[in-house]
Amino acid sequence: MPQPTRPAPCICPNCDGFASVAITTGGRTPHGHLRTITVDCRACHGAGPVLARRNREGARV
């Protein structure tokens, strides 16, 4: 019996699903660890998948 398939999640086109990244600032802490900052995607706010839009950009409503 075939298994039902789930629809593929809509991946954010701006970050391709890599919604949060760690960027090194170039310095080190007194313990020797790299100093990093975490940056989230501005389009999906760090979630990765986004909801599909019903209206395309420039389309009449």
Query: pLDDT tens digits for 24-55?
Result: 988 899 999 999 999 998 888 887 776 655 54
Phi-psi region of 58 (alpha: psi -120 to 50; beta: other; left: phi over 0): left
Q: Name the residue with higher pLDDT: 4 or 42.
A: 42
Q: Write phi, then psi, for 28 (nearest 5 degrees).
A: -130, 150
Q: Indicate the pTM of the whole model.
A: 0.54
Return the SS3 of 52.
coil
